[in-house]
């Protein structure tokens, strides 16, 4: 009984967690800003993540996104990409046929302005600037806002694992091992409780049986004496 209560309590703890995770996946109303990676691998593809979270609601709006690039060792930015009216334009010959839009699609109110670079080269090392220009249209006026994000990437010949990634993996394994150990302890504890309860029930049954047997013998002895 005690073990059943503990298992029921565990279910009560896990159910809200699972519901929260499920709703997190199903919910599309929350915009979460995601930092871009900062290490690109030579010859591979690389995504430059740029998200501008603005509450859109029922207000009509439109946005354009401009990307600029300043190579390592240079002092000025050069425009490399423009996205407006659901169309993208490569502005620098260095990125011809290598830049692709990887952000919001089929909407003029862009919130995700990410781009994707194909076949990364060492010359792509440097600082990238993502510039959002956004207009919100109200009945009596127009509101203008903008947002700028900077991303510095380094191109390497082979992918390396960062300290954060290693620590995350270690913590994951530690959590798994800890959970398994806890489950084993719970199973052993419950097994011992059940075994102890069974032994107690067996002793009570034996005691009752011996008491009944003794009573029967006493009755038989009394009948024999009476005869």
The pLDDT tens digits of the residues spanning 14-51 come to: 444 444 444 433 344 446 667 788 899 999 999 999 99
Pairing of β 115-117 and β 99-101: antiparallel
Per-residue pLDDT, averaged over 150-179, amounts to 81
The per-residue pLDDT for 79 is: 97
The pLDDT tens digits of the residues spanning 53-73 come to: 766 666 788 999 999 999 999
For 78, phi then psi, to 5°, come to: -125, 135
Range in 57-61, 74-78, 165-169, 173-177 with the lowest mean pLDDT: 165-169
Domain boundaries, the chain: 33-158, 161-213
H helix count then E strand count, the chain: 2, 9
Give the DSSP letter of residue 51: B
* Host H or E run for residue 172: helix 163-226
CATH class of 33-158: mainly beta
Residue 216 pLDDT greater than 70, yes or no = no
Residue 120 pLDDT greater than 60, yes or no = yes
3-state class of 10 per DSSP?
A: helix
Q: Which among 118, 125, 117 is positioned nearest to 156, based on CA atoms?
A: 125
| Residues near 66 by beta carbon (within 8 Å), at least 6 away in sequence | 79, 81, 82, 83, 130, 131, 133
The per-residue pLDDT for 113 is: 94
């Amino acid at each position: 009984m005690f073990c059943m209560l503990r298992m029921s309590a565990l279910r009560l703890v896990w159910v809200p967690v699972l519901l929260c995770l499920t709703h997190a996946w199903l919910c599309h109303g929350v915009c979460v800003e995601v930092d871009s990676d900062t290490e690109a691998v030579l010859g591979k593809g690389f995504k430059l993540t740029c998200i501008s979270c603005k509450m859109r609601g029922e207000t009509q709006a439109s946005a354009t996104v401009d990307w600029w690039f300043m190579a390592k060792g240079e002092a000025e930015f050069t425009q490399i990409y423009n996205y407006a009216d659901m169309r993208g334009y490569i502005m620098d010959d260095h990125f011809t046929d290598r830049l692709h839009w990887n952000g919001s699609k089929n909407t003029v109110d862009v919130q995700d302005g990410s781009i994707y670079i194909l076949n990364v080269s060492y010359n792509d090392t440097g600082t990238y600037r993502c510039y959002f220009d956004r207009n919100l249209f109200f009945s009596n006026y127009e509101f203008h806002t903008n947002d700028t994000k900077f991303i510095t990437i380094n191109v390497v010949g082979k992918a390396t694992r960062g300290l954060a990634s290693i620590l995350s993996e270690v913590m994951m394994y530690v959590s798994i091992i800890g959970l398994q150990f806890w489950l084993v302890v719970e199973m052993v504890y419950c097994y011992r409780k059940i075994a102890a309860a069974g032994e107690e029930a067996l002793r009570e049954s034996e005691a009752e049986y011996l008491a009944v047997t003794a009573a029967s013998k006493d009755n038989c002895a009394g009948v024999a004496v009476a005869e």
